[in-house]
Amino acid sequence: MRIGIVNDSAIAVECLRRILEASNEHEVSWVARSGYEALQCCTEDRPDLILMDIVMPGINGIEATSQIMERCPCPILIVTTSVDSRSGMVLEALRAGAIDVVKTPSFDLDAGGVDAQRLLRKIDNIEKLIGEDDQKRPTMPHSSPPRSPDTHMVTSRGIVVIGSSTGGPQALAEILSFFPKSLSWPLIVVQHDEARHIPPLVSWLDSCTKLQVKTVKEGDKPSGGTVYIACTDHHLIMNRDGSLSYTKGPKGSIYRPSIDIFFESVARNWSSRGIGVLLTGMGRDGAKGLLALKEAGWHTIAQDRETSVIYGMPKAAAESNAAVEVLPLSKIGASILRRIQTRGKAL
């Protein structure tokens, strides 16, 4: 991969350069010492990935990430000296469109070896996701479209399930702001992120909506007016009794938690029809699961290209004919609310 480095520390830059060159799989396309310089470099030569520091003079990593994702979208991995002490800034960067975060490796061979390998694993996973986005999958024929889920009647309370990744926090905040406190359906969210980043995300989302936002605890049974967010690095699943739990397998999935695994378990085990939504994100996770929901009679929605920070997951859903509707972000919340408010009528 061609990788751009954004860091005002000469020591950090040299460390990152040595790690990338030693891997024999990546090359440094350019180095920027500030967020402003990074924006210029990315505009002139967009790399496959950017390693972005957070604290820099002038335009910091958060603002640089936001501007790059707006002007010349590119996968961005936040690389910072202290992930835990800067959790608030890390969350801001993830809201702005960064994919993930990792600790800056050290020159000390004993300490840096582990951090260097963690960095390379993150880069390898991102490369796999980019490869998935570049794959061209055949679109399902439209000559004989599948039966619309609108022909099915709601037999009991429905639920809304949402999958999101890069750019997801901001998209979730906008969607959740549409809903009244009296919402009768629960919402369950799988957001691609590390478990330690979920609690601050939950706290922030709770301030953006009239609904209660909480993490999913083992055995939870969803209740109306509540947003449940997966909070571990294991996969979230729906059980036959309607309860939620976590599972370690399958271990081969690069998505943890996996949206596909959750959506497919919901399609199998939730007795009534609901609404499935797939938002912005890199890769294809969620498209297969969204199709399973549609085939089970659910109403399915994918975010459109123009409003997605990364048009990977929703694009895969649209290409596989998994989405009944492809909508801009500003219309997704209203569409969900309108269908919920029909209550006992057809979805």
Q: Which residues are catalytic?
A: 165, 192, 285
Rounded distance between C-alpha atoms, residue 4 and residue 46, angstroms: 8
Q: Are 222 and 262 in contact (CB under 8 A)?
A: no
Rounded distance between C-alpha atoms, residue 66 and residue 72, angstroms: 10
What ranges in the chain are assigned the alpha helix state H? 10-22, 35-44, 61-71, 87-96, 109-134, 168-176, 198-206, 259-269, 287-295, 313-319, 329-340
Q: How many residues does the chain have?
A: 347
118 backbone φψ class: left, alpha, beta (φ>0; ψ -120 to 50): alpha
Comparing CA positions, the residue from 276, 260, 246 lying closest to residue 158 is 276
Helix, coil or strand: residue 54: coil
Rounded distance between C-alpha atoms, residue 29 and residue 88, angstroms: 30
Tokens of 111: 């300490």
Rounded distance between C-alpha atoms, residue 52 and residue 7, angstroms: 7
Rounded distance between C-alpha atoms, residue 273 and residue 346, angstroms: 9
Rounded distance between C-alpha atoms, residue 93 and residue 274, angstroms: 32
Rounded distance between C-alpha atoms, residue 337 and residue 341, angstroms: 6
